[in-house]
Structure 1
Amino acid sequence: MLKDLSSPLALLGTRRSGKARDMIGPGPTDEQLERILQIAARTPDHGKLHPWRFVVVADDQRQDLARLLSAALSENDPAATHAHHQKAAEFAHQGEALVVLVFAPVDNGKIPLWEQELSCGAVGMNMLHAAHAMGFVGSWLTGWAAYDPTVRKAFCLPAERIAGFFFFGSPGQPLVERPRPEVPSVVRHWQPPLD
């Protein structure tokens, strides 16, 4: 299932996210998922703080997650309709594997919070790259559930936040490339300030 790694740049140049709702099996095995997480942890991490952690939601816990999301909607969104609850249940069952990435800041008085947030984001990107290299598709989603206080409490300690829900599987339909910025439009060359 591993893609040809003889050309890492070609591999990196083909990564794209897939829609979690379109994913089918096979998904990563437990061993493959562990490898994805090992690779994800090889991220820049100033101070060796690892200000992030992984919460794996097992297949047999997906209905529990659906119940949690439904309860969160009922508790925190009085305007939530039956359609919102249905969409939340579908969200809980997407993909063949689900990892919740939690931002777990470390207050050590030395490493700025911003650098810790960047490290957590790099972990997320490494997960997507590792899954892609193994022949799977990944999707990094947030949405209301990542910010809801009831959902957050179920996954996080008080100072932590959900960085995203990471779904992995095989594409159920061909992936469509999305528009990417033309590199010259997002690059500028630094000019030293004039005295």
Structure 2
Amino acid sequence: MNHQGPAHHGTPATSAVPIYDDAFELQASPNMLAKLETRRSVPMRAFDPMPIPAEHLNRILSIAARSPDHGRLAPWRFIVVEAEARRSSGERFDALYAARNPGLDASKSDMWTLYMMRAPVTVVVVSRPDPNSKIPEWDQILGSGAVGMNLILAASAHGYATQWLLKWPGRDPEAAAILGVQTGERVAGFIHLGRQTERPADRVRPDLEAVVTRWTG
């Protein structure tokens, strides 16, 4: 089947949400399958420092937000760190880390600044379950994982590489608070995005025989 609607040929449209018909939605997409079959995380050293255009990032975030969401609560949010905010956040992380670790080796005095400067954009996925909702908290927490994976796939579809990490700045409440993470919220991950400068080797993937069972009653 051929779909003749807008926003599927040439440069992706970003100003409007495309309207897809049934023929498009039911059509197999070899390119999408190939992207999914070859997706892999990129080491932090392999990001090109070139900024991501705002229209690309906005579309990636919009697609990420179309993730499964039991109760339509959006029990997550995004914090975007880019441009000079990368350096300022890293410097504040370094200051806090040094205060927590007296006698820290001088070679590690700027490690969090270097970390935040590696990728042109970092999207912090924050889990914020609503304790007053009838939707189970576990469902809401899983939603932050779903939105994070959707973000990664949207970035891949746009031609960007990603790395999802959860290091000290995301695990420590005081460090996370530097970015505006509030009481009752938790960081699900720092998702780093950018163009890759090298093709990383793939890793061994799970054997389906080891992770799939079929219930037959």
The normalised TM-score by structure 1 is 0.89
Structure 1 CA distance for aligned equivalents of residues 88 and 125 of structure 2: 18
Asked which structure has the greater CA Rg, the reply is 2
- The aligned residue for residue 144 of structure 1 is 168
Would you say the 8 A contact 2:46–2:197 is kept in 1? yes
Does residue 61 of the first structure (1) align with residue 79 of the second (2)? no
- Mapped to 2, the partners of 1:129 and 1:33 lie a distance apart of 13
Report matched runs for 1:8-87 at 5 Å: 8-78=32-102, 80-87=104-111
RMSD: 2.0
Distance 1:22-1:7 versus aligned 2 partners, 3 A rule: closer
The reply on whether 1:185 has 2:206 as its aligned counterpart is: no
Unaligned runs of 5+ in 1: none
8 Å CA contact 1:21–1:94 kept in 2: the answer is: yes
Cα distance in 1, alignment partners of residues 117 and 71 from structure 2:
37
**Higher normalized contact order (CA 8 Å, seq sep 6+, divided by chain length):** 1
Q: Is the Cα–Cα contact under 8 Å of residues 72 and 148 in structure 1 kept in the other structure?
A: no
Quick check: 1:98–1:167 contact (8 Å CA) kept in 2?
yes
Match of 1:90? 114
Identify if the C-alpha distance between structure 1 residues 103 and 77 changes in structure 2 by more than 3 Å, giving closer, same or farther. farther
Deviation at 1:99, TM superposition (A): 1.1
Query: Aligned residue for 2:125?
Result: 101
Report Cα offsets for 1:32-80 as digits up to 9, x if no partner. Answer: 0010100000011111110110111120212211111112202333464
1:61 and 1:27, CA in 2 relative to 1: closer, same or farther beyond 3 A?
A: closer
Shift of 1:30: 0.7
CA contact (8 A) 2:169 2:175 kept: yes
Instruction: Kindly provide the amino acid, as one letter, of the partner of residue 168 in structure 1.
Output: L
Structure 1 Cα separation of the partners of residues 134 and 104 of structure 2: 43
Segments of structure 2 that go 5 or more residues without pairing to the other structure are 1-9, 13-28
- The whole-number CA distance in structure 2 between the counterparts of 1:178 and 1:79 is 37
Within 5 Å, which residues of 2 pair with 1:105-116?
Answer: 105-116=129-140
Q: Identity percentage over the alignment?
A: 36
The one-letter amino acid of 1:46's match is: H
Matched, 1:163 2:216: no
- CA positional deviation for 1:101: 1.0
Q: CA deviation at 1:102?
A: 0.9
**2:49, 2:90 → 1: CA distance?**
20
Offset, 1:150: 1.9
Deviation at 1:191, TM superposition (A): 5.3
Residue-by-residue CA offset, 1:82-139 (whole Å, 9 max, x unaligned): 2333321211101111111111111224111111111100111011101111111011
Normalization by structure 2: what TM-score? 0.81
Q: Take 1:53 and 1:19, find their aligned partners in 2: how far apart are those partners?
A: 25
Matched, 1:172 2:163: no
Aligned length: 191
